[in-house]
Amino acid sequence: MIVANTDGAKQFITNTEEFKRVKSRAEVAYQQVLAEKGLGSEWLGWRRILRNPDKESLEHVESKASRIREEADLFISCGIGGSYLGARAVIEALSSPFRDEGPEILFAGHHLGGNYLEKLTEYLEKPKADGTAKSVYLNVISKSGSTLETALAFRVLRKWMHRTYGANAADRIVVTTGPHGGVLNKMAETYGYDKFVIPDDVGGRFSVLTPVGLLPVAVAGINIRELLYGAVNKFLECEESADDILEYASLRCAFQESGKVLDVIGSFDPELRAFTGWIQQLLGESEGKEGKGMFPVSASYSTDLHSIGQMIQQGKRNMIETFMVVHNPITGYQVTGNGEEIDGLDYLSGKSFHEINSNALDGTIEAHIEGGVPVFQIVIEALDARNLGELIYFYELFTAIYVYMLNVNPFNQPGVEDYKKAMFRKLGKEG
């Protein structure tokens, strides 16, 4: 269950008549999504996969992931943007921060740092504590197969895999790409790599509930059926009513049009640090067009209260703030007494860290609102696969509705292509 608490934002709305007009635009945008009549509606496959879940594909993912978990010490997910952010968000939210079972999950292909790739290959070569070699599996994720960051990393890692495993390398390399065409389809056909398909009508930042995200998440030991069907439940609920999302979108749009330029998206639960990064991409790449949109800033609390907290509290009043909140305790871990007063913390003895963290959250929200920052709270009941699946669809639908309210296409990213063209020209690529 997700609750969008907008009380800390609504109090900043002073022109009620104008806000009513904004809300009516939200309803129009919502109907555009339902009727598949808006800009870029050919990219609404992230709704189709929840309306009619592909059970055969799900079973294929589960089967492959089960085999990898049995055989691998290390699993590399090679991709950039939506090809890795969603999987990383779910894995970090639902896994132990210290690997205790299953293969180690590493990410590559999400930057152009040569040092990282060099050290990664050295790490692959390093034997385990018992002196035996690591068992490595590699999953490359790219619809086109030509995104430079991912393609270069895959070239390095694929070469290592074939040198290390010889003829058996093909059994350890998995390709996730579009249904046809592109470099990776050609490689899969040539070398016999196992393949998973990214649907043609699903863009990268909306692809976490396809094999793009589901395979790495399943390899990490997370129940992908719970994740997927949590999203399905939210999809069905929102087909009937999306009032909370419409209220949230209306308020955010009203703030954007009144001059707010930053949305600081954070959580007091460090498990959600990568999830706020996924939201940052989802919103930033969807709304940042034609001189419109707010800049989404990902933050981690209470850590960042000691860095950007001062700016939020007393800086320029050009921002809003969104908190991801987990209602139920993730752990019951408590502060214990130590029989001495030297550290001055005995007043916290017997309190759980959840209680302390919750009070820090409430105090921060109170202070920031008093400082003039509109605050949203997006609350999930518990940190588990089903609730996270609901939250994924909540934000996918919210993004589509909100960006339609700006009268731009939520699903393209023309600006991303600009840097690629300039980069390839400087590198001397022909054409």
Tell me the C-alpha distance between 25 and 23, whole Å.
Answer: 5
Q: Is the pLDDT of residue 4 over 90?
A: yes
pLDDT of residue 431: 73
- Neighbouring residues of 260: CB distance < 8 A, sequence distance ≥ 6: 294, 318, 319, 320, 374
CA 346 to centroid of chain Cα atoms: 39
pLDDT of residue 419: 84
Which of the following is catalytic: 37, 327, 420, 429? 420
pLDDT digits 0-9 by tens, 325-361: 999 999 999 999 877 778 888 899 999 999 999 999 9
At 185, phi and psi to the nearest 5?
A: -65, -40
pLDDT digits 0-9 by tens, 112-170: 999 999 999 999 999 999 999 999 999 999 998 889 999 999 999 999 999 999 999 99
pLDDT digits 0-9 by tens, 247-288: 999 999 999 999 999 999 999 999 999 999 999 999 999 999
pLDDT of residue 337: 84
> Under DSSP, is residue 402 helix (H, G, I), strand (E, B) or coil?
helix
306 as an active site residue: the answer is yes
Residue 191: other Cβ atoms inside 10 A: 13
DSSP code at position 308: T
Mean pLDDT calculated for residue range 25-45: 97
pLDDT of residue 367: 98
The two beta strands, 74-78 and 262-267, are unpaired
Which of the following is catalytic: 92, 149, 285, 321? 285
327 as an active site residue: the answer is no
Q: At what angle do helices 224-240 and 385-405 cross, to 10 degrees?
A: 40
Q: Is the pLDDT of residue 422 over 90?
A: no
pLDDT of residue 144: 85
420 as an active site residue: the answer is yes
pLDDT of residue 126: 97
pLDDT of residue 16: 92
For residue 312, which of 371, 376, 375 has the smallest C-alpha distance? 371
Q: Is the pLDDT of residue 231 over 80?
A: yes
pTM above 0.95, yes or no: yes
Which of the following is catalytic: 306, 316, 340, 426? 306
What is the average pLDDT value for the chain, to the nearest integer? 96
